[in-house]
């Protein structure tokens, strides 16, 4: 046992920022690939053959996920880690471990209570909140699956606190493994539990899509075990009590409600949209969920990633009274996000059938159409994250919150109007998202533009974005031609067959975009061109030496 602990502690040593970034990037990529395989597997098994079952599975996740996001995820992202790190940095390890133990126990009690309530009220939650449009069989299945998955908030809460502790002290090995293990658990459920479970010759579970729900629970348990292993060698002294007198713990509890509210409001829209989608026919709920998940991938990679990295510098500029530097940096970041998001949105639109084919064997017309309607949201949600952080850097969390409330009301109104009054069906939900994302960014930019000395969004910025949009338009045309030259065939039923065509289309499209950016004299293209020249030059020099 001691040798095992020694090996684990050695593997889980503190990493440098560079190594940690490499490890997390690799684990994120692997987790994303497993997620694509997971969705492709489930969609191939059920989307076209058992739509009531796949809709039920999608609905069953909604409330447990909502409880986790509103109670745990938002709180730990910006509250626990700074408070915990400050205590470790000042050498007060006793207070840090006391804070951690208290938070684990508090979150465990809170989420366990939420899990029990979900189990008790799963029936009305499905029938009236997330799946009112499912047929009787689908609702019954969703209720049963929700009761199984209800344990997730409890398991996730403990694992998330433990993982946050490791993140705060620079130990990323098991932190990086946790999401990978979770996806593996779901894949195990889809591949084997759906076939039934037999122990010592006795069948204890008949199989079916309920096996996927059991796989979700298995993944959650495995994730908690892996996260817990990461505590070995940290010196963590767990106490089975809540230390209400601990100042750090009380500080986290004070910071928790507003952040949790802000985090939960975005998910309210998801619940509303799932409620409406469930009424529009079998398979629509799952299709809409898949389209929204696909459109969020570039938002997270571009908008969230860049904004998160830039936020400390923005905050420091304002803290030091460097308003000119703050404005210049924010202008630069907004331009970079626009420059990256525009071609991604354009190519996503023209090659949406290819994108969907990665998660649905042979593609899916409905998911492709919904993804096309969401391309506007890809662009403006990416920009939203940096603009919102402009307010956060000013210690103003209320303005984005108020705008979010207005946006939610507008989104609900437009979605109902488009979907039912204009008869647009599920496409009404997607178009409402894109329109509201645009309006939200325009309002936030208008407000912050008046606050910052000197204009943030001036004529120069507008001209640059126009030139970017022009380059993206040409890219879309080239991408459209490439898609028709390399059409997705009915025989393209595997990723191996579709991936080369897709990457060729994207590669040619992005090359055209960079070249057109140079033609339109956009400064954002220069570092890319310089890097390509450097690589080519080094290769030539290397070839000459040989």
Shared domain for 384 and 522, answered yes or no, is yes
369/429 Cα distance (integer angstroms): 12
* pTM for this prediction: 0.84
Q: Coil, helix or strand for 230? A: coil
> What's residue 139's pLDDT?
94
Domain count, the chain: 2
Q: Is residue 222 part of a domain?
A: yes
> What's residue 152's pLDDT?
94
Segments forming the whole domain that contains residue 462: 348-545
Last residue of some domain: 208, 225, 256? 256
> What's residue 546's pLDDT?
42
| Sequence-separated (6 or more) residues with CB below 8 Å from residue 453 | 323, 324, 327
Q: What is the mean pLDDT of the chain?
A: 86
Chain position carrying tokens 């090659």: 351
Hey, which residues does 205 pair with through a beta bridge? Answer: 197
For range 238-259, the mean pLDDT: 84
Shared domain for 192 and 58, answered yes or no, is yes
Phi, psi of 197 (to 5 degrees): -120, 125
Res. 32 pLDDT band, cuts 50 70 90 = confident
> What's residue 13's pLDDT?
60
Q: Give me the torsion for CA of 209, 141, 74, 376, rounded to 10°.
A: 80
CB 67 within 8 A of CB 113: no
CB 354 within 8 A of CB 483: yes
> What's residue 431's pLDDT?
97
Complete DSSP assignment for 299-328:
IIIIIIHHHHHHHHHHHHHHHTT-HHHHHH
85/80 Cα distance (integer angstroms): 8
Last residue of some domain: 216, 232, 256? 256
Within a 10 A sphere around the Cβ of 536, how many other Cβ atoms? 10
Shared domain for 357 and 464, answered yes or no, is yes
- Answer whether residue 545 shows pLDDT above 50: no
> What's residue 121's pLDDT?
97
169/159 Cα distance (integer angstroms): 16
519/513 Cα distance (integer angstroms): 10
Tokens representing residue 282 in the block: 């079998």
Q: Is residue 491 part of a domain?
A: yes
Q: Is residue 168 part of a domain?
A: yes
Shared domain for 68 and 201, answered yes or no, is yes
Shared domain for 197 and 72, answered yes or no, is yes
168/508 Cα distance (integer angstroms): 41
Say which DSSP state 130 is in.
I
Dump pLDDT digits (tens) for 253-303. 887 776 677 667 778 888 999 999 999 998 999 999 999 999 988 887 788
For range 8-16, the mean pLDDT: 57
Angle at 44 between CA 40 and CA 47, to 5 degrees: 105
CB 95 within 8 A of CB 246: yes
- Answer whether residue 540 shows pLDDT above 60: no
Alpha helices (H) in 192-246, listed in sequence order: 210-229
Chain position carrying tokens 């804070």: 99
Dump pLDDT digits (tens) for 429-480. 999 999 999 999 999 999 988 887 777 778 888 999 999 999 999 999 999 9
Shared domain for 219 and 367, answered yes or no, is no
> Where is pLDDT greater, at 200 or 408?
408
> What's residue 8's pLDDT?
54
Q: Is residue 445 part of a domain?
A: yes
Q: Is residue 330 part of a domain?
A: no
* Helix (H) or strand (E) run with residue 198 in it: strand 197-199
Look at the alpha carbons of 186, 286, 61, 27 in this order and tell me if their dihedral is positive or negative.
Answer: positive
> What's residue 109's pLDDT?
94
Chain position carrying tokens 């629970």: 217
- Pairing between strand 202-205 and 197-199? antiparallel
For range 390-399, the mean pLDDT: 77
Which residue from 162, 190, 193 is spatially nearest to 178, judged by alpha carbons? Answer: 162
Dump pLDDT digits (tens) for 514-531. 999 999 999 988 887 777
Q: Is residue 235 part of a domain?
A: yes
Last residue of some domain: 211, 235, 256? 256
Shared domain for 222 and 352, answered yes or no, is no
Shared domain for 159 and 28, answered yes or no, is yes
Dump pLDDT digits (tens) for 178-231. 889 999 999 999 999 988 887 777 777 777 889 999 999 999 999 999 988 888
> Where is pLDDT greater, at 1 or 514?
514
Phi, psi of 205 (to 5 degrees): -150, 130
Q: Which among 24-33, 298-307, 362-371 has the top mean pLDDT?
A: 362-371
Q: Is residue 343 part of a domain?
A: no
Q: Give me the torsion for CA of 133, 111, 257, 170, rounded to 10°.
A: -120
Tokens representing residue 77 in the block: 């992202």
141/149 Cα distance (integer angstroms): 12
Q: Is residue 476 part of a domain?
A: yes
CB 171 within 8 A of CB 242: no
């Amino acid at each position: 046992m001691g040798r095992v602990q020694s090996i684990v502690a050695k593997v889980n040593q503190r990493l440098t920022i560079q190594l940690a970034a490499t490890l997390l990037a690799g684990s994120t990529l692997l987790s994303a690939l497993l997620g694509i395989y997971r969705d492709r597997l489930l969609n191939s098994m059920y989307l076209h053959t058992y739509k009531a079952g796949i809709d039920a599975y999608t609905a069953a996740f909604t409330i447990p996920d909502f409880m986790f996001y509103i109670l745990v995820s938002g709180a730990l992202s910006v509250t626990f880690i700074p408070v915990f790190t400050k205590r470790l940095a000042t050498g007060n390890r006793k207070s840090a471990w006391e804070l951690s133990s208290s938070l684990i126990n508090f979150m465990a009690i809170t989420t366990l209570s939420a899990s029990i309530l979900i189990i008790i009220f799963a029936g009305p939650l499905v029938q009236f909140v997330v799946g009112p449009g499912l047929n009787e069989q689908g609702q019954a299945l969703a209720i049963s699956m929700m009761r199984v998955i209800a344990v997730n908030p409890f398991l996730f809460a403990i694992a998330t606190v433990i993982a946050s502790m490791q993140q705060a002290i620079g130990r990323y090995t098991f932190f990086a493994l946790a999401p990978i293990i979770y996806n593996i658990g779901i894949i195990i459920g889809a591949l084997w539990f759906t076939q039934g479970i037999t122990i010592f010759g006795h069948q204890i579970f008949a199989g079916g899509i309920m096996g996927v729900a059991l796989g979700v629970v298995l993944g959650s348990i495995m994730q908690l075990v892996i996260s817990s292993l990461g505590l070995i060698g940290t010196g963590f002294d767990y106490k089975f009590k809540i230390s209400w007198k601990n100042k750090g713990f009380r500080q986290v509890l004070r910071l928790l409600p507003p952040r949790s509210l802000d985090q939960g409001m975005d998910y309210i829209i998801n619940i509303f949209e799932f409620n409406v989608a469930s009424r529009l026919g079998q398979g629509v709920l799952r299709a809409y969920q898949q389209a929204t998940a696909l459109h969020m991938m570039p938002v997270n990679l571009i908008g969230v990633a860049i904004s998160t990295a830039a936020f400390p510098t923005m905050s420091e500029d304002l803290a030091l009274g460097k308003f000119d530097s703050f404005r210049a940096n924010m202008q630069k970041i907004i331009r970079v996000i626009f420059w990256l998001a525009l071609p991604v949105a354009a190519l996503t639109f023209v090659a949406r059938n290819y994108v969907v084919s990665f998660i649905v064997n042979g593609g899916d017309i409905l998911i492709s159409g919904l993804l096309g309607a969401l391309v506007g949201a890809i662009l403006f949600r990416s920009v939203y994250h940096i603009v919102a952080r402009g307010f956060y850097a000013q210690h103003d969390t209320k303005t984005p919150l108020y705008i979010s409330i207005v946006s939610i009301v507008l989104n609900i109104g437009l979605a109902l109007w488009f979907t039912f009054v204009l008869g647009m069906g599920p496409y009404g939900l997607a178009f409402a998202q894109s329109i509201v994302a645009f309006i939200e960014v325009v309002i936030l930019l208008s407000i912050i533009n008046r606050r910052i000395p000197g204009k943030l969004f001036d004529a120069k910025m507008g001209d640059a974005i126009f030139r970017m949009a022009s380059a993206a338009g040409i890219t879309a045309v080239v991408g459209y031609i490439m898609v028709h030259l390399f059409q997705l065939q009915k025989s393209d039923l595997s990723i191996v067959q579709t991936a080369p065509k897709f990457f060729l289309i994207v590669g040619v499209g992005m090359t055209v975009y960079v070249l057109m950016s140079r033609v339109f004299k956009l400064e954002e293209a220069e570092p890319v061109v310089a890097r390509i020249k450097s690589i080519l030059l080094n290769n030539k020099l290397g070839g000459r030496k040989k």
